[in-house]
Amino acid sequence: MGSEIWLGLLSGIAFGFVIQRVGASNADKMARAHLMMESDIPKFMLMAVILSAVGLLGLEAAGVANTRVLPTSLVATGVAGILFGIGWGFCGYCPGTTWAAVGEGRLDAVFALIGGLAGAAFFAHLHEFFIPLLYDPFNVGQITLADWTGSRPAAVVLLVFIFGLCIGAIHFLWKGKNGGQTP
Amino acid sequence: MDKKNTSPIYWPWLPAAFALAGIIVFIFATFGPPASSSGFVSLIKGAVQTVAPGYVENNPHYATMPDTGSWLFAFVLGMAIGGFAAGRTGRIQVRDIPEIWEKRFGNSRIKRFAATFAGGFIILFASRLAGGCTLGLFISGSTQLAVSGLYFGVLIFAVAMVTAHLVYGNTGKEE
């Protein structure tokens, strides 16, 4: 086994530990976030992106970043976003949190994991049908905010500003500000 | 509720975001954009390979994805181990049916498990169609300033909020 396996395992353990502790693997907390009753998880996710984007800029300056921007397909990414939102709002798990929740011992997450394996296998089987139909014709390429702002640092500033506004809006519009702990 | 003394203790969101971002930046330096829906594909590929190697070889989706001997699978396996370690050492209450779900739909485990199976099926199907999930497309993508990640992110949050309102109605608001 190469070092990449150990790096993956180590990264996963750290990642799973943090998302369990912040409550992202708790479907109850996730549902309350979607219902605007509890603001921790969305603020956590957006802030993690802000900090990671700044960190990635540093990695790029140091020349050690490995990036791979996924293309935007207006139809495939759009349809997938809507379907994903339905599944996420309905069951309260997303692919990553499912694994942490299974490890934590939540039985309903085990079924989300099995359902996920079935869904991924189903897509893989129909890949040749869906990709040319929904993805390829509407693919506008690997566009990033930097294509619009002209430079990567300026795009990071724009991202930080937009996500910062979202965090502020969530903080003031969502009701729960006490970490979701029932008083 | 009479569970005043057993309130779950969660990490505050801001320091937790610093911790997660540190891990994400580490992953970008040592691997590339982190992803978790790909781990599902790697697991199936590894499993199906042993019984039907020809099918996997001729399938374009499995051809683009590594099998279980990969960073992507080690990562999701690690997430389960991390969840286990955090669960065993913390005070967060673990339930098989979320409280809010039980209030709305009762305590039938079959009903909840069928719902999470269906939900899991939809989110993984959608993730594969988009090329990534909450982590692999929204978080990794937005960190790289990708428009695909931002576009996906706006849709998943908005649709999940509408869906949750339709599913739960006013459940939980009476507290």
Domain that residue A48 falls in: 38-69+144-182
- Residue A33 and residue A90 share a domain: yes
Same domain, residue pair A45 and A119: no
Instruction: Specify whether A79 is located in the same domain as A57.
Output: no
Specify the pLDDT at position A175.
Answer: 85
Give per-residue pLDDT as tens, B115-146: 999 999 999 999 999 999 999 999 999 999 99
- Rounded to whole angstroms, the Cα distance separating A177 from A171 reads 7
User: What is the SS3 assignment for B146?
Assistant: strand
Please indicate, yes or no, whether residues A63 and A153 belong to a single structural domain of this protein.
yes
- pLDDT bracket for residue A183 (50, 70, 90): very low
- Specify whether A101 is located in the same domain as A26: yes
| Cα dihedral value A144, A148, A153, A157, nearest 10 | -100
- Give the mean model confidence (pLDDT) for residues B21-29: 98
Same-domain pairing of A28 and A78? yes
Nearest-CA distance from B91 to chain A in Å?
9
Same domain, A161 and A79: no
- For residue B10, list chain A residues with Cβ-Cβ distance below 8 A: 21-23, 29, 40, 179-181
The predicted model scores a pTM of 0.94
Residues A9 and A24 both lie in one domain: yes
pLDDT digits (tens, 9 = 90+) for B152-173: 999 999 999 999 999 999 886 6
A124 and A97 in a common domain: yes
Read off the pLDDT of residues A58-78 as tens digits, 9 standing for 90 and up.
999 999 999 999 999 999 999
- Same domain? For A60 and A89 the reply is no
Please check whether residue A178 touches B, CB under 8 A. Answer: no
Same domain, A108 and A167: no
Residue numbers of A between 18 and 57 with CB closer than 8 Å to B: 18-23, 25-29, 31-32, 34-37, 39-45, 47-53, 55-56
Q: Are residues A102 and A131 in the same domain?
A: yes
Average pLDDT over residues B65-74: 96
The residue of B129, B139, B166 whose CB has the most chain A CBs within 10 angstroms, and thus the best one to mutate to test that interface, is B129
Comparing CB atoms, the residue among A81, A116, A128 nearest residue B121 is: A116
Alpha-carbon dihedral A56, A74, A99, B34, rounded to 10 degrees:
-20
Number of domains chain A contains: 2
Chain B partners within 8 Å of A37 (Cβ): 172-173
Q: Searching chain A, which residue's CA lies closest to the CA of residue B58?
A: A125
Residue % of chain A over a pLDDT of 70: 95
| B21 contacts on A by Cβ (under 8 Å) | 47-48, 50-52, 55
DSSP B59-119: -HHHHTS--SSSHHHHHHHHHHHHHHHHHHHS-PPP-SS-HHHHHHH-S-HHHHHHHHHHH
pLDDT at A176: 66
